[in-house]
Structure 1
């Protein structure tokens, strides 16, 4: 690939959620701060929602690293497309509970309770991180709620952080979900990268990957990446990677607008984002024009 050509140790825009590349952006830092505050207060449920590609899994991994450093027992469910019993089994395995395969949900829940009490007696906090939580069935959500019923006089024995796409909010709107909904004491919605931070995001990832030269992406390239990605981190990564491949193929040492344009043309989602942005801006311009025409007639 192009690592040697640009003087890199590794690929700077890989899609793997590597916490070494986490950029201290305002939305992500606010989210991490809220998570640490909520969990330190012993609250039961915390919900983090964000569109596809906004960095939920990366934040989940960073939180996991932070908690393990603090001595917290972390259970992790990366893709909980499970029914109620399967979720209990997965959680039991994460907590190293000895199970018999034929155990019914009630027995599994009891054994999880006993294990949580053991952790509490040793003054060890237990946090469950659920990624892609929008895929959970209602039965799995209800099983999760029942597990969190166990608590001491001072705190919950199991804290849960749900990371999910906006569909998670829709999943929780049903009347049968109101008990769980009331237990979500903190929530946060991740935002895309704002335009003024796109350059910082790109340059940080390049620096972590080993680049130590002058600005590799010129200002026009950065602006075009923002317009085509709408600030979605995953899409920024895809476009930057492809633009660097285009520059490498031409032997160019600086990524400019034409390299990004080739990347955009090769990325369906970027074309969709750009079309949506153009439609939105066109709608705003039309409203301004209409408002201006009305005002002109009023003045006459």
Structure 2
């Protein structure tokens, strides 16, 4: 697409969480520190919540990369699981083999044996669950029962829950009050302010290999901030579209008009300006068509 045009080696604003692009926003760094501190002190349940697009999965993967060596990690990215499916997923992550018709008793025995084995190796186990708000209530209760496994001095299994604010509502249900009492560390992710949006966009362009001038100036980033309310995912979407527009025009600088057209074309963004010259959807299609035709004529592969 626009890689050659801007002299970058990869797309800088993809929605796939990539730890090489971790910017280290204050909120993100604090969350990592809270998580590592809680795990080192042996806490049972740790919870991180944030609105959609605020970087929970990125922090989750960053945590997996930075876990101390004496931890064994079990990662469950899609937790919409029945209690039985959840138990099997945990067992699989910890290399525990269950029979085809394993019940709660067999699971408990085999998991406990595995956790004790890991404990004797002077290691801990961190079960990390992303999108935890999707866990059914029955599965959350099954999760609590799993964490009952402990020695006289510490938990054999620690659980980190990443979720949207709906997770707080679910844990507030009367039938889950026992688990809620076990959540000893919590952290809520914050969105970016206007200056952080500017630094964030600049950082991602630099990581992608951009070495030119200020491609997204502060005026453009102010529009990005107002439209996205500081949500990283929406900033990524808008920047990607703005780069496509500039590339289609053959220009080397992002302008406020590019940002406004990107906002107009993005349902999740807030409309901040009514001064738009044309339908941005049509313009995006037109610019992309020009780009494809140009590359085909030049002999480049898209």
Q: TM-score, normalised by structure 2?
A: 0.88
2:28 is equivalent to residue 24 of structure 1: no
Quote the offset at 1:274 in angstroms. Answer: 8.7
Following TM superposition, the consecutive aligned residue runs of length 4 or more in structure 1 with deviations greater than 6 angstroms are: 272-275
Superposed, which structure 2 residues align to 1:59-208 within 5 Å? 59-67=59-67, 70-208=69-207
Partners of 2:39 and 2:246 lie apart in 1 by 45
2:256 is equivalent to residue 263 of structure 1: no
Partners of 1:134 and 1:273 lie apart in 2 by 32
Task: List gaps (5 residues or longer) in structure 1.
Answer: 276-300
2:12 is equivalent to residue 12 of structure 1: yes
What is the DSSP-based 3-state SS (H/G/I as helix, E as strand, rest coil) of the residue aligned with 1:87? Answer: helix
Partners of 1:208 and 1:71 lie apart in 2 by 31
Partners of 1:254 and 1:47 lie apart in 2 by 41
Checking the alignment, whether the CA contact within 8 Å between 2:263 and 2:271 is kept in structure 1 is: no
User: CA RMSD, aligned part only?
Assistant: 1.4
What is the DSSP-based 3-state SS (H/G/I as helix, E as strand, rest coil) of the residue aligned with 2:154? Answer: coil
Checking the alignment, whether the CA contact within 8 Å between 2:81 and 2:135 is kept in structure 1 is: yes
Count of aligned pairs: 274
What is the DSSP-based 3-state SS (H/G/I as helix, E as strand, rest coil) of the residue aligned with 1:88? Answer: helix
Checking the alignment, whether the CA contact within 8 Å between 2:264 and 2:271 is kept in structure 1 is: no
Quote the offset at 1:196 in angstroms. Answer: 1.6
Partners of 2:221 and 2:271 lie apart in 1 by 18
1:36 match? 36
Checking the alignment, whether the CA contact within 8 Å between 1:230 and 1:273 is kept in structure 2 is: no
1:227 match? 226
Q: Assess, with a 3 A threshold, how the Cα gap between structure 1 residues 273 and 95 changes in structure 2: closer, same or farther.
A: farther
User: Residues 11-58 of structure 1, C-alpha deviation per residue, up to 9 Å, x if partnerless?
Assistant: 000111000001111100111110011001000000000000000000
What is the DSSP-based 3-state SS (H/G/I as helix, E as strand, rest coil) of the residue aligned with 2:268? Answer: helix
Partners of 1:49 and 1:105 lie apart in 2 by 30
Q: TM-score, normalised by structure 1?
A: 0.89
Partners of 1:243 and 1:261 lie apart in 2 by 9
Task: List gaps (5 residues or longer) in structure 2.
Answer: 275-302
Checking the alignment, whether the CA contact within 8 Å between 1:127 and 1:160 is kept in structure 2 is: yes
What is the DSSP-based 3-state SS (H/G/I as helix, E as strand, rest coil) of the residue aligned with 2:61? Answer: helix
User: Residues 213-253 of structure 1, C-alpha deviation per residue, up to 9 Å, x if partnerless?
Assistant: 11111221111001100000000000000001011111111
Quote the offset at 1:273 in angstroms. Answer: 8.8
Checking the alignment, whether the CA contact within 8 Å between 1:28 and 1:59 is kept in structure 2 is: yes
Checking the alignment, whether the CA contact within 8 Å between 2:226 and 2:270 is kept in structure 1 is: no
What is the DSSP-based 3-state SS (H/G/I as helix, E as strand, rest coil) of the residue aligned with 1:270? Answer: coil
Checking the alignment, whether the CA contact within 8 Å between 2:44 and 2:182 is kept in structure 1 is: yes
Partners of 2:216 and 2:70 lie apart in 1 by 41
What is the DSSP-based 3-state SS (H/G/I as helix, E as strand, rest coil) of the residue aligned with 1:129? Answer: strand
Quote the offset at 1:152 in angstroms. Answer: 1.7
